[in-house]
A = this chain, B = another copy of it.
Amino acid sequence: MYTYEYPRPALSVDCVIFGLNDDELKVLLIERAHDPYAGYWAFPGGFVDMDETTEEAAKRELQEETGIQNMYMEQLYTFSDVNRDPRGRVVSVAYYALVKLSDFTNQVHASSDAKRAEWFQVNHLPPLAFDHAKIFEVAFNRLKGKVRYQPIGFELLPEKFTLSQLQKLYELILDKELDKRNFRKKILSMGLLVELPERQKGVSHRAAKLYKFDKIKYKELEAKGFSFEL
């Protein structure tokens, strides 16, 4: 037992993990096994330990509950409504993360404590526990905003991708169609994509060239004041 002179809220973290599955943008949810909100879906998360930052806690919980590691992650927002958790006062620092779904054998391992983990399409989410619907809204808006002026979209694609895949990704996130020629002109003119001596395989039509994102070059340009903008 731990005692303090003044009462303290509990501190938790929650993670909104985005993944791309061909032409669907998805988020990972966990089915709650226990009350409150037993049977509801929620973002993976948990309480912060005393010897870890909130970001470390988010990564640890993610690893524990889903096995996912080494993803791009960023702090989203801290939710502190007094009644957001019926068990008592819990303040939660939310993170959002982007993962290359291709990295996982499409099967996120069921967590140790028998909760189911599943990817849901972003515009077909089931009812969510706590204030997680609100958290999702903030996360999705952040993603939409950020993708336009930082090259984070690449975190959702495999290492090697085609320009059509990249375009489709942006169309999904921004929720509007883009002109193929203009898109290619723009993205190639930034000089951040490396054309690989390879083409797409296993498609039943003309195979597209593969590209990769030159992160090193981006970091250099960024330091010189270049700013990515789509």
A interface residues with partner B (beta carbon < 8 Å):
1-11, 47-48, 50-55, 75, 77-78, 80-82, 89, 91, 93
Contacts and interface: CB of A to CB of B under 8 A. Distances in A.
Given A9-B8, A9-B11, A89-B50, A55 B80 contact: yes
B7 A82 contact: no
Q: Quickly give the copy total for this chain.
A: 2
Contacts of A91: 11, 48, 54, 93
Contacts of A80: 48, 53-55, 93
Given A48-B91, A51-B82, A53-B81, 9 more contacts: A1-B4, A2-B3, A2-B5, A8-B9, A8-B10, A50-B82, A50-B89, A53-B80, A53-B82
B11 A7 contact: no
A9 B48 contact: yes
A6 B82 contact: no
A52 B93 CA distance: 16
19 contacts: A1-B5, A2-B3, A2-B4, A2-B7, A3-B4, A4-B4, A4-B8, A4-B10, A6-B47, A7-B50, A9-B11, A11-B91, A50-B82, A50-B89, A51-B82, A53-B80, A53-B81, A75-B78, A91-B93
